A and B are shown apart, each in its own frame.
Chain A
Amino acid sequence: GESVGLHLPTLSVQEGDNSIINCAYSNSASDYFIWYKQESGKGPQFIIDIRSNMDKRQGQRVTVLLNKTVKHLSLQIAATQPGDSAVYFCAESASGGGADGLTFGKGTHLIIQP
């Protein structure tokens, strides 16, 4: 079965509001997590990553939070813009794990309402 999943397949937010996209993982050995953004008709684009020795990491308008206790990952997007509309995937991996590398979730579709 899939070890990485998302709580909501679609998230609709108002332009200018903050967005929070959630991800649950089941492999307690996972120690590296990535968020990707995929716009319609394009390949996944790296947004931000975090390793298990951190709880929080910030980028430009994005923050990733990692809660290892409950195996939960979230992506926060501040002041969402129309260009943020996309499908967001989380991915996980265990550095000591097998050669399969990253395991991807199915994705959350973020819709920005004007």
Chain B
Amino acid sequence: NAGVTQTPKFRVLKTGQSMTLLCAQDMNHEYMYWYRQDPGMGLRLIHYSVGEGTTAKGEVPDGYNVSRLKKQNFLLGLESAAPSQTSVYFCASSLWRTTDTQYFGPGTRLTVL
């Protein structure tokens, strides 16, 4: 049982490039989330999903898109990366409601030059 995994662990992009971050969970959780974490700040919710085929916006959704084609996977896309998107990205999942305990992945450190 690997829990929540994320790929890649590190990535450097140039402004305007695109990329996709992959999150996978093997706990059969319904809910999945993408957060970003910036120095001195708490976790901020980007997008989340309440089940396969669904997505919803969080606190800071601009510049990101997501997809949940399979229950166990949640993808975060950056279509045209900007330096302001330099951050550490965390994926999380919870069994049911958004208010249930969330279990986090190890994070992806993204730098946009």
* Chain A residues at the B interface, C-beta cutoff of 8 Å: 2, 4, 32, 34, 36, 41-46, 49, 89, 93-95, 97, 99-102, 104-107
Contacts and interface: CB of A to CB of B under 8 A. Distances in A.
Contacts of B107: 41-43
Nearest to A46: B101
B61 to A, nearest CB: 12
Interface of B: 4, 31, 33, 40-43, 45, 48, 50, 56, 58-59, 90, 92, 94, 97-99, 101-107
A30 B20 CA distance: 34
Given A102-B98, A102-B99, A43 B105 contact: yes
Contact of A101 (B40, B45, B106): B45
18 contacts: A32-B99, A36-B104, A41-B107, A43-B107, A44-B43, A44-B104, A46-B103, A93-B98, A99-B56, A100-B45, A101-B45, A101-B97, A101-B99, A102-B98, A104-B43, A105-B42, A106-B40, A107-B42
Contacts of A105: 42
A2 B103 CA distance: 22
**6 smallest beta-carbon distances between A and B, as pairs:** A101-B98, A43-B104, A93-B99, A104-B42, A104-B43, A106-B42
B101 A34 contact: yes
A45 B99 contact: no
Nearest to B104: A43
A89 B99 CA distance: 16
Nearest to A95: B99
Given A2-B42, A89-B42, A42 B102 contact: no
A100 B43 contact: no
A2 to B, nearest CB: 7
A51 to B, nearest CB: 10
Contacts of B99: 32, 93-95, 97, 101-102
Contacts of A99: 48, 50, 56, 98
